[in-house]
Amino acid sequence: MAKKVGIISQARMTSTRLPGKVLMPVAGQPLLQYHVERLQASGFPLYLAITTNATDNPLADFAEAQHLAYVRGDEHDVLSRYALCAQEHQLDVVVRVTSDCPLLDGELVGQSIREYLRANDARLYLSNVLERTFPRGFDFEIFSRELLEEAAQHATLPADREHVTPYIHQNRSGRVHFRHIRRPDDRSAYRLTVDTAEDFELIRQLIEVHHAARLTADELIGILDQHPELVALNAHVEQKKI
């Protein structure tokens, strides 16, 4: 029987460093629109996991306008939001992404999902984040509902609840298997996620000048390789620590 796969993207409007970033417009549409359209290229359904806060009502409005399924839950217990979404939509396999990655490569995600499904292993965690060779902004994690529910039941640390997967990828159960998606050339120093005004400026230039919304991960990395002045826009930004 075919497994039901769902890509779940967590989103909120109250980012500490750049509030409202996911709905900030570039070339006439919000960043979240690029994120959604690129992930839809994976061929798998997409769900939003947003908070119950009134500040996230615009995200609910966006989801309804886009005919996107969504769930609402605790702002800080993001793990419970994922578990709720998987339960409500009877997902067998979950793909975790975050909405501050507007240029995520949906085709790369789709290929990786198919690799995960071929493995046919409910204890498998497959991602491109533990052995990082892709720029930040192309992150995805794939795991079974079994592993998700195990984490939701047993993870107790606030960081575990907020960041969804530490209980899984730190293999606290001792029974998780790992597979990594890597690229031959390490470009993990590049940032294509949006957490600051400098990050936003890079994404804006990539979309408006370089037509980034139509490009693959490799093509986007190629542009950054050729344009060090673009890389310099946010090279100093430090990723927030878990």
pLDDT tens-digit map of 89-132 = 999 999 999 999 999 999 999 999 999 999 999 999 999 999 99
- Answer whether residue 207 shows pLDDT above 80: yes
Measure the CA dihedral 89/95/96/100, to 10°. -100
- 3-class SS string, 87-137: HHCCCCEEEEEECCCCCCCHHHHHHHHHHHHHHCCCCEEEECCCCCCCCEC
Q: How far from the centroid of its chain's Cα atoms is residue 123's Cα? A: 21
**pLDDT given at position 155:** 96
- Domains recognised in the chain with CATH numbers: 5-234 (3.90.550.10)
The pTM for the full model equals 0.97
Distance CA(193)–CA(135), nearest Å, equals: 9
Q: What percent of the chain clears pLDDT 90, i.e. is strictly above it?
A: 96
Give the pLDDT mean for 18-41: 97
Q: What percent of the chain clears pLDDT 70, i.e. is strictly above it?
A: 99
pLDDT tens-digit map of 43-73 = 999 999 999 999 999 999 999 999 999 999 9
End-to-end CA distance of the chain: 37
The H or E element containing residue 8 is strand 5-10
Nearest residue to 81 (alpha-carbon basis) of 178, 179, 12:
12
- Answer whether residue 241 shows pLDDT above 80: no
